[in-house]
């Protein structure tokens, strides 16, 4: 009997032969692409069918997923259906379901069959359209889609790279990831312009530059200011109160800007908001722009959420005065059925933005760019690489048309009106600010033995207890030092019955609280 250490040459050669003919790794094997995507599509369809019955907020603890999966990546492959099984068993139970029709927190993150298809196709092509030459159709479709959206919003031609007659304009637009990016790039452009005006092109002039916004402006603005190099001491947060329905007061803005000029500082940038996060307040765009113009400051309009509503004639007046501002951003991924991420930034003078954002390394030089007949979108954003976001935006507008998009907006607004009416019929509640668009701010009011402080605590519990049930998800905010609930309608699957069901849940919770 031979030694156990003796190698069987026949077996060894057989293994070697098998290895020699083994099929190479092909990550885009057509049969796999078709099979995997079909399975993924089945999952997506089933998800949208069942998400209504899932808890909106998951009942998991921080770190739960570390106990579900291996600590180290696997060495050997697994069948795709095994991966999908683990997705369903471990990941889905830990998701907060923004797609749920019982989601009423924050602002909506809308989606549609067309947007999903567009995003899938863009991901499959995986183009990196930093220059026109790198992806001519991707660049031109993004420009076209942005021009279409600008027309839906009735933005002036000055924001378009090409006018209605086909002539090249001074404006420009780009699709970015989020409003934060739109704020950051325009802050940098405004900073550089102010430094040039003051005779300095170096950061030594930064301590003299000042930026302004109402205190209801989204917190990402103040973060973007710091990232752009503005001294935190020169970031003016102007208080807004119930007397203006929490909108920026032009008189207070003028007072603040003049006070800074009087001590030698340079007003540089003003951010106005159409649809603030806490209350959906609308800053007076025209009045703000008039004041800022007298100081030579850049004006940006953040219309991330509510800008989409302005495709409807009855809401367009909220953008009155936009022809006077320097930039405006709208996020169709919030309320225009175009999935995340899709923030559309428009600037009145594209060169002011590209002068600050432009990069021109030798390896990107080409005849198309040198001709100045094309737009290289890399020069209007922070990074170089970029996704083909224009495809899904174009597909949404092309497939649904203006009429269906307007119907979608109006349906959500009508459901919010319904909820507002239900709140007003219950004497225990108050609507804190007049409803704008599709969000209602309400609270259990202080009355009788319930002090303002006690009402705050009751309202906090009113939010937490329904959220714990998984049957709905609400969020809160603070206005004038008082806690209130925000009820944001807009999930793509929402119907009137979901709004009514949420109200019944709120009433039952309130009944229990009042009994306690």
Q: Cβ(121)–Cβ(355) under 8 Å?
A: no
Give the Å distances, CA to CA, from 493 to 112, 229, 504. 10, 42, 19
The answer to whether 247 and 283 have CB atoms below 8 angstroms apart is yes
Residues with Cβ within 8 Å of 335's Cβ and at least 6 positions away in sequence, in order, are 107, 108, 110, 305, 306, 308, 309, 409, 412, 438, 490
Phi-psi region of 347 (alpha: psi -120 to 50; beta: other; left: phi over 0): beta
Distance CA 189, CA 358 (A): 11
* C-alpha distance from residue 43 to each of 53, 209, 241, 303 (Å): 16, 52, 47, 34
Tallying the residues shown for the chain, one arrives at: 516
What does the alpha-carbon distance between residue 13 and residue 19 come to, in Å, rounded to a whole number?
Answer: 10
Q: Give the CATH number of domain 399-513.
A: 3.90.1150.10
What is the model's pLDDT at position 9?
43
What contacts 310, CB < 8 A, 6 or more positions away?
153, 154, 274, 303, 316, 318, 319
pLDDT tens, the chain, 516 aa long: 444 444 444 444 444 444 556 789 999 999 999 999 999 999 999 999 999 999 999 999 999 999 889 889 999 999 999 999 999 999 999 999 999 999 999 999 999 999 999 999 999 999 988 888 889 899 999 999 999 999 999 999 999 876 666 666 688 999 999 999 999 999 999 999 999 887 765 555 678 999 999 999 999 999 999 999 999 999 999 999 999 999 999 999 999 999 999 999 999 999 999 999 999 999 999 999 999 999 999 999 999 999 999 999 999 999 999 999 999 999 999 999 999 999 999 999 998 999 889 888 888 888 888 888 888 888 888 988 899 999 999 999 999 999 999 999 999 999 999 999 999 999 999 999 999 999 999 999 998 888 899 999 999 999 999 999 999 999 999 999 999 999 999 999 999 999 999 999 999 999 988 765
Nearest 10 degrees: CA dihedral of 344, 347, 351, 354?
-30
**pLDDT given at position 129:** 86
Longest dimension (CA), the chain: 103
Question: Is it true that 29-94 and 399-513 share their CATH fold?
Answer: no
Residues whose CB is less than 8 angstroms from the CB of residue 241 and which lie 6 or more positions away in sequence, other chains included: 480
> What are the residue ranges spanned by the domains of the chain?
29-94, 128-386, 399-513
pLDDT at position 165 is 62
Angstrom distance (rounded) from CA 334 to CA 305: 6
128-386: CATH topology: 3.40.640
Considering only CA atoms, which of 142, 228, 223 is closest in space to residue 186? Answer: 228
**114, 392 in Cβ contact below 8 A?**
yes
Q: Six-digit token pair at 220?
A: 């990402």
CA distance 158 to 243: 34
Determine the pLDDT at residue 20.
57
d(CA 269, CA 196): 14
Q: What's the pLDDT score for residue 1?
A: 41
Tell me the CA distances in angstroms from 203 to 191, 195, 229, 230, 360, one per residue in order. Answer: 10, 8, 9, 10, 22
Q: What pLDDT, on the 0 to 100 scale, is given for residue 132?
A: 82
Q: Residue 274 and residue 76: Cα distance in Å, rounded? A: 52
Cβ distance 250 to 209 under 8 Å?
no
Per the CB < 8 A criterion, the answer to whether 511 and 464 are in contact is no
Radius of gyration of the chain (CA): 27
- 294 preceded by a cis bond (ω within 30 of 0): no
Of 371, 312, 301, 370, which is closest to residue 336 (Cα–Cα)?
Answer: 312
Secondary structure of residue 268 in the 3-state scheme: strand
Phi/psi for 243 (5° steps) reads -65, -25
Q: What is the pLDDT of residue 131?
A: 87
The reported pLDDT for the residue numbered 326 is: 96
Q: 159: which 2 tokens?
A: 């924001």
- Based on the residue annotation, tell me whether 363 is a catalytic residue of this protein: yes
| Cβ-proximal residues to 42 (8 Å cutoff; 6+ apart), any chain | none
pLDDT of residue 8: 47
- Tell me the CB-side half-sphere exposure of residue 108, using CA atoms within 13 A: 32
Beta-bridge partner residues of 174: 345
pLDDT confidence of residue 201? 54
Is CATH 1.20.1340.10 correct for 29-94? yes
Q: Which of 47, 48, 346, 363 is catalytic?
A: 363
Write down the pTM of the prediction: 0.91
Please state, in angstroms and rounded to a whole number, the distance separating the CA atoms of residues 340 and 494. Answer: 18
């Amino acid at each position: 009997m031979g030694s156990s250490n003796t190698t069987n040459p026949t077996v060894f050669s057989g293994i070697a032969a098998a290895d020699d003919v083994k099929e190479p790794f092909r990550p885009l094997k057509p049969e796999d692409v078709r099979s995997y995507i079909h399975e993924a599509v089945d999952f997506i369809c089933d998800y949208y069918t069942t998400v209504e019955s899932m808890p909106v907020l998951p009942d998991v603890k921080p770190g739960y997923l570390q106990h579900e999966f291996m600590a180290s990546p696997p060495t050997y492959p697994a069948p795709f259906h095994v991966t999908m099984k683990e997705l369903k068993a471990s990941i889905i139970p830990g998701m907060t379901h923004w797609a749920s029709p019982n989601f009423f927190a924050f602002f909506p993150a809308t989606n549609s069959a067309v947007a999903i298809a567009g995003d899938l196709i863009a991901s499959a092509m995986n183009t990196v359209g930093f220059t026109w030459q790198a992806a001519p159709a991707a660049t031109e479709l993004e420009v076209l889609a942005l021009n279409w959206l600008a027309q839906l919003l009735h933005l002036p031609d000055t924001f378009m790279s090409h006018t209605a007659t086909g002539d090249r304009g001074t404006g420009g637009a780009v699709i970015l990831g989020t409003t934060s990016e739109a704020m950051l790039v325009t802050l940098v452009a405004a900073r550089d312009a102010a430094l040039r005006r003051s005779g300095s092109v170096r950061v030594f002039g930064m301590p003299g530059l000042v930026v302004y916004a109402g205190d209801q402006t989204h917190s990402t603005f103040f973060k973007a200011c710091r990232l752009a190099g503005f001294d935190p001491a020169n970031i003016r947060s102007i208080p807004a109160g119930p007397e203006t329905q929490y909108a920026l007061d032009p008189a207070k803005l003028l007072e603040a800007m003049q006070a800074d000029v009087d001590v030698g500082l340079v007003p540089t940038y003003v951010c106005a908001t159409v649809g603030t996060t806490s209350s959906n307040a609308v800053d007076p765009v025209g009045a703000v722009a008039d004041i800022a113009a007298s100081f030579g400051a850049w004006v940006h309009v953040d219309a991330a959420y509510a800008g989409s509503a302005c495709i409807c004639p009855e809401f367009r007046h909220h953008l009155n005065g936009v022809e006077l501002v320097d930039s405006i951003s709208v996020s169709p991924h919030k309320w225009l059925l175009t999935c995340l991420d899709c923030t559309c930034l428009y600037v009145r003078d594209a060169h002011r933005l590209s002068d600050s954002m432009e990069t021109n390394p030798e390896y990107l030089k080409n005849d198309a760019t040198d001709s100045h007949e094309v737009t290289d979108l890399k020069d209007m954003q922070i990074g170089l690489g970029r996704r083909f976001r224009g495809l899904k935006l174009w597909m949404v507008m092309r497939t649904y048309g203006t009429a269906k998009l307007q119907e979608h907006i109006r349906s959500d607004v009508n459901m919010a009106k319904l909820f507002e009416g239900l709140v007003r019929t219950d004497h225990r509640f108050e609507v804190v600010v007049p409803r704008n668009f599709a969000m209602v701010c309400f609270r259990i009011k202080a009355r009788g033995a319930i002090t303002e402080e006690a009402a705050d605590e009751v309202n906090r519990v009113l939010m937490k207890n329904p959220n714990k049930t998984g049957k709905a998800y609400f969020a809160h905010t603070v206005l004038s030092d008082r806690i209130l609930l925000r009820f944001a309608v807009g999930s793509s699957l929402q119907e009137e019955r979901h709004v009514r069901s949420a109200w019944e849940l709120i009433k039952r919770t309130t009944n229990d609280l009042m009994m306690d």
